[in-house]
C-alpha cells in the first residue's frame, strides 16, 4: 500500500508519456521505406513521394519533431544530473575509487543512468 499523496505533475507527465507512446504505436513505421526512398533523392535534395497517411500518422507527425527534442533534452538533463562523483572514504585500490551518483547517491552507475543508457543502446 502506498501512503504518499499523488503529485498532480506526476499524473500529467504519465498522461503525456502514455499519449506519445500510444500515438507512436498507432502510426506507420517508415523504417523499411526509408532505405528505398533515400535512393530517390533528386538534384534538389528532395524525394518526390505520394503517400497514404492515416489520421494516426498525421497526429504523430504533427508533434513528433517537438517531442523528440523534448526527450533528447530530458535525456541530457538526466545524464547531467545522474553522474559519478568520488564517494570518499578508504578503498583498497586508490587508483579506482568507489563512485556514487551525485543525485541519488547509489553506487555508480546508478539505476537511473543504467536505464537511460540501456534505453538508448537498444
Give the total number of structural domains in the chain: 1
Q: Is residue 49 part of a domain?
A: yes
Q: Is residue 32 part of a domain?
A: yes
Q: Is residue 71 part of a domain?
A: yes
Q: Is residue 45 part of a domain?
A: yes
Handedness of CA 46, 47, 51, 54 (dihedral sign): negative
What per-residue confidence (pLDDT) applies to 113?
92
Q: Using a CB cutoff of 8 Å and minimum separation of 24, what contacts does 55-62 make?
A: 56/23, 56/26, 56/27, 56/28, 57/27, 57/28, 59/23, 59/26, 59/27, 60/23, 60/24, 60/26, 60/27, 61/27
pTM over 0.85: no
Q: Is residue 1 part of a domain?
A: no
Would you write out the chain's pLDDT as a tens digit for each of its 122 residues? 455 676 787 788 788 888 888 888 888 887 788 888 888 899 999 998 888 889 988 888 888 888 899 889 898 999 899 999 887 766 677 777 888 999 999 998 999 999 989 988 87
> Count of CB atoms within 10 A of residue 27's CB?
18
What per-residue confidence (pLDDT) applies to 3?
59
Amino acid at each position: 500500500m502506498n501512503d504518499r499523496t499523488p503529485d498532480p505533475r506526476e499524473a500529467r507527465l504519465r498522461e503525456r508519456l502514455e499519449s506519445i507512446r500510444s500515438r507512436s504505436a498507432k502510426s506507420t513505421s517508415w523504417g523499411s521505406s526509408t532505405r528505398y526512398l533515400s535512393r530517390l533523392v533528386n538534384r534538389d535534395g528532395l524525394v518526390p513521394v505520394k503517400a497514404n497517411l492515416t489520421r494516426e500518422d498525421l497526429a504523430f507527425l504533427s508533434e513528433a519533431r517537438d517531442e523528440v527534442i523534448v526527450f533528447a533534452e530530458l535525456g541530457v538533463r538526466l545524464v547531467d544530473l545522474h553522474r559519478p562523483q568520488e564517494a570518499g572514504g578508504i578503498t583498497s585500490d586508490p587508483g579506482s575509487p568507489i563512485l556514487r551518483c551525485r543525485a541519488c547517491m547509489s553506487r555508480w552507475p546508478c539505476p537511473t543512468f543504467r536505464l537511460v543508457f540501456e534505453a538508448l543502446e537498444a
